[in-house]
Amino acid sequence: MTNPRILIFLMVSALLSFLASGAKNARAFHSGGVGECEGCHSMHNSQSGFSAGSAGASLLKGGDASSTCLTCHQVSGDTGPSSYHVSTPSGEMPFGTPPKQLSPGGDFGWLKKTYTWYADVVSPMASSAGDRHGHNISAQDFGFQADSKNASAPGGSYPSSALSCTSCHDPHGTYRRNQDGTISTSGKPIRDSGSYDTSPTPDAQTSVGSYRMLGGTGYVPQGMTGGLAFSFAPPSAVAPSDYNRSEATTLTRVAYGSGFSDWCRNCHTNIHNGTYSFKHPAAGFASGASAGTLDVTMINYYDQYIKTGDLTGSAATAYFSLVPFEIGTQNYSILKSIVTTSPTKGPDLADGSPAVMCLSCHRGHASGWDYGMRWNSKTSQITYNGKYSQESLLYQPYGQGRTEAEALQAYYQTPSLKFDPSQQGLCYKCHATVPQ
């Protein structure tokens, strides 16, 4: 446990050097590295009316680590998706109304939405519990509780009771991408975020933050045992600056480069393999999981597939953000150019080794569907009669208790009419037939 006096001393000295460095962007907070200490820590026990927590809680502004993050990342009164906000207050998403944020990781508000429905006259009532909708971060000040079913990460041992924003993101943003492409926790100072197409390129004097300040090799949050420390580096990716937005007319493309599946395996070591009920490859070269790259046949099929019954698509416009893939490269000039100049192009062997990865199917935070899936994998078709929901009907085998507004939001505002009126699940974006 850190002595509070030492902590305050560290904060004051760091703040002074932070102010002296002058290198940070005034609008930003973390800028890819450690933000101003006072954004998260309270120097005095009752500062700003926040509970400072116990000394063991590192004098945080919130009651726990996640609550501290949510003091800025969940804001009341947003009229729609808004920049770095990743959660919607409970009171702003009453029954039938979806959470507001549409960031690539997804709105944690979905964890508070439980759905029930009857599929037909004979089946018992079915349900989709809120805590099935993704990563249940504990945030006591905001009503988020640990998962009630999984005691630990499926396929691994990370305890659900300890899952917080800082399980995945390093609050002090120490992981940095260097000029030679390596990732380290020390060395050159972090100049800015490394997550965007507009981020600077690391040079001889400065580095940039890891993608989304995700923890890398050796990362373990304070208070966790070393046995849970990460084995794999942060993934390589580039997001557009405008990443939290409706996809009603144009899609949001994150250029996922490589390393996502290995990064998720930091906690889900043995998922979808061996004895696991649902088997599926997810390429990860650091872990030796080389299966999962898209061969020429699958690339061509991805390019042609528009929707059920429509294979008239082409490579230049084939990308679909509800079924993304890894481009298969760590080359940031390629990743940045894809985000800025060809955001809709499909998998391309000229860019790297495109592959299926965890985020092809799941979202990093949460979604409107079970298991944080990008689409509803619990039904044979995701539209029925051209709609996502059967909200006014007695039996709802496809919409499964979600209102049209909720399902539409869960599909990031993709109009249902972009799909076939009886659209199959999105496994078919890659597979002509889904193998059993």
Residues between 209 and 238 that touch ligand HEC (CB under 6 A): 209, 212-213, 221-222
Distance (Å, whole) CA 217 – CA 229? 7
318 binds ligand HEC (CB under 6 A): no
Cβ 62 to ligand HEC shortest distance, Å: 8
Amino acid at the residue 192: D
By the 10 Å C-beta count (0-12 exposed, 13-18 middle, 19+ buried), 4 is classed as middle
Contact yes or no for 116/125 (Cβ under 8 A): yes
Nearest to 326 by CA among 281, 369, 377: 281
Q: Which is nearer to ligand HEC, 141 or 404 (CB)?
A: 141
Interface pick for ligand HEC out of 339, 362, 403, 406 (rule CB under 6 A): 362
Cβ 390 to ligand HEC shortest distance, Å: 22
Contact yes or no for 302/294 (Cβ under 8 A): yes
Tell me which residues in 140-179 interact with ligand HEC (CB under 6 A).
Answer: 147, 150, 152-154, 158, 160, 163, 165-169, 171-172
Q: Which is nearer to ligand HEC, 61 or 403 (CB)?
A: 61
Q: Which is nearer to ligand HEC, 52 or 163 (CB)?
A: 163
Applying CB under 6 A, the site for ligand HEC has a residue count of 100
Interface pick for ligand HEC out of 238, 338, 339, 361 (rule CB under 6 A): 361
322 binds ligand HEC (CB under 6 A): no
Tell me which residues in 402-431 interact with ligand HEC (CB under 6 A).
Answer: 427, 429-431
Q: Which is nearer to ligand HEC, 86 or 407 (CB)?
A: 86
* Strand spans (E) along 63-214: 115-117, 126-128, 176-177, 183-184, 190-192, 207-209
Maximum CA pair distance of the chain?
A: 70
Distance (Å, whole) CA 213 – CA 276? 30
* Phi and psi based region of residue 211 (left: phi greater than 0; alpha: psi -120 to 50; beta: remaining): beta
Tell me which residues in 35-94 interact with ligand HEC (CB under 6 A).
Answer: 35, 37, 39-41, 58, 60, 65-66, 68-73, 84, 86
313 binds ligand HEC (CB under 6 A): no
Nearest to 63 by CA among 172, 140, 2: 140
Cβ 204 to ligand HEC shortest distance, Å: 22
